Amino acid sequence: MVEPAFKPGMMVRVRDIPVKGHMRTPAYVRGRQGWIEGLQGTFPNPERRAYGADGLPPVPLYLVRFRQSDLWPGYDGSDSLVLDIFEHWLERAEKTHGP
Amino acid sequence: MAHDHDHSVSPHPESKDHPVRDWESREAAIRDLLIEKGVLDAGEIRRKIEEWEQKTPALGARIVARAWCDPAFEARLLADANAAAGELGIDARGVKIVALKNTPSLHHVVVCTLCSCYPRTVLGLPPAWYKSKAYRSRAVSEPRKVLAEFGTVLPEGVELRVADSTADCRYLVLPVRPAGTDSLSEEALAQLVTRDAMIGVAQASPPA
């Protein structure tokens, strides 16, 4: 069992890794800051399984939440967006705002 | 040359009313090879297609109706949706399903921006619009406008939360139980729970 590096409530930034192919982190959140809502579990890495590897060891997968106003220019209000991001895409961010 | 014959295209009639696309040729070539090498036979492929096409949103509706009637079941659903589905005899083994609870002040809508991830074990196959590039891009960037186009206008005070199914979880929206349904049976409640309400582009239907 891989020990998850992030805990609920922690501010994180999505790494802006210039890779293409079967990646599970969409471009619109790369480089953006959000916070950990929870851990979804650990899963074999689909970004490696897509190319014939076994994807092991399993990677922690987090539910990460973003303010819509941090993602889209001109988006007002308190709407938010959640998506699942694998640990290797995340780094700690300074706490500017959050939950 | 072993493969100079025409590959069989999809057995689905709707796939044959347009010129064969590259991905269809590729799928047909892989399928023919799997059959030729004895990995699968045509019957197994047909049965699998049939099995998936026979799953309908009625499965998810039963889950939602039970959750409306039984708070303890709702709690189990929110903790482990696959196991909760199993309690109702619905086979939701496989990919992890996460239920998202709507409230009067929070509304969820589900999209898969990267492809077409969808809680197929409880809703069946996704509608065509769910897989369209327009829905996949606009549901994240201007979700209120998209919902309004589906006839769902959210008041300003309601938080809209978009869930983008990017990886190993599939999302099922647990809609708000409509007002005026206190006397309805669980079976009658299930009739109010539509596919679109469980994707989050609509609310559950009011009682007739």
- Which domains are seen in chain A, by residue range? 10-97 (2.30.30.50)
Helix (H, G, I), strand (E, B) or coil at B179: coil
pLDDT of residue A95: 72
What ipTM was reported for this prediction?
Answer: 0.94
pLDDT per residue as tens digits for the range B151-205: 999 998 999 999 999 999 999 999 999 999 999 999 999 999 999 999 999 999 9
Catalytic residue of the set B15, B116, B169, B205: B116
Would you call B144 and A79 a contact, using CB atoms and an 8 Å cutoff? yes
Chain A nearest-CA residue for B144: A79
**Active-site residue B69, yes or no?**
no
> Mean pLDDT across the stretch A53-63?
95
Given a cut of 80, whether residue B71 has pLDDT beyond it is: yes
- Give the pLDDT of residue A31: 95
Tokens at residue B151, please? 């006839």
Percent of chain B with pLDDT over 70: 92
**Residue B174's Cα: distance from chain center in Å?**
13
Dist. CA B149–CA B121, nearest whole Å:
27
The candidate with the shortest Cα–Cα distance to B195, out of B135, B150, B137, B133, is B150
Contacts of A58 in chain B (CB under 8 A): none
Task: Provide the residue type at B73 as one letter.
Answer: F
Distance from CA of B13 to the nearest CA of A (A): 30
Pairwise CA distance, residues B93 & B115, whole Å: 21
Q: How far is A24 from chain B (nearest CA, A)?
A: 6
The pTM is what?
Answer: 0.90
DSSP state of B103: B
Specify the CATH number for B56-199; select among 3.90.330.10, 3.30.2320.30, 3.40.190.10, 1.10.10.10.
3.90.330.10
Nearest to B139 by CA among B196, B101, B81, B95: B196
Report the pLDDT averaged over residues A24-36.
95
Quick one: what percent of chain A has pLDDT higher than 90? 83
Count CB pairs under 8 A between chains A and B: 67
Chain B's closest residue to A59, CA to CA, is B168
Where in chain B is CATH 3.90.330.10? 56-199
Residue A18's pLDDT is: 85
B115 catalytically annotated: yes
C-alpha neighbours within 13 Å on the C-beta side of residue B83: 8
Nearest chain A Cα distance for residue B169, angstroms: 8
Chain B residues touching residue A43 (CB < 8 angstroms): 167-168
Q: H helices within chain B, ranges in order?
A: 22-36, 42-53, 58-69, 71-79, 81-87, 120-123, 128-131, 133-141, 143-149, 186-190, 195-199
Closest CA to B9 of B26, B23, B28: B28
**β-bridge pairing A59-67 and A11-14:** unpaired
Which of A17-21, A36-40, B32-36, B68-72 comes out lowest in average pLDDT? A17-21
Buried b (16+ CB within 10 A) or exposed e, B122-159: bbbebbeebeeeebbeebbbbbbebbeeeebebeeebe
Q: How many CA atoms lie within 13 A of A98 on its CB side?
A: 17
Alpha-carbon span A67 to A97, nearest angstrom: 10
In the structure encoding, which two tokens stand for residue B82, read together? Answer: 């696959």
Q: Which residues of B touch A86 (CB under 8 A)?
A: 167
* Residue B169 annotated to the active site: no
Contact B190, B65 (CB under 8 A): yes
> B169 contacts in A (CB within 8 Å)?
40, 61, 63, 84
Q: What mean pLDDT, rounded, does chain B reach?
A: 92
Q: pLDDT by residue (tens digit) across B103-117?
A: 999 999 999 999 999
The answer on pLDDT for A94 being more than 90 is no
DSSP assignment letter at B204: P
The stretch B138-149 carries a mean pLDDT of 98
Q: Which of B8, B25, B115, B137 is catalytic?
A: B115
Q: Comparing C-alpha atoms, which of A77, A10, A14, A68 is closest to residue A37?
A: A10
Question: By CA distance, what is A82's nearest residue in B?
Answer: B163
Average pLDDT over residues B19-47: 93
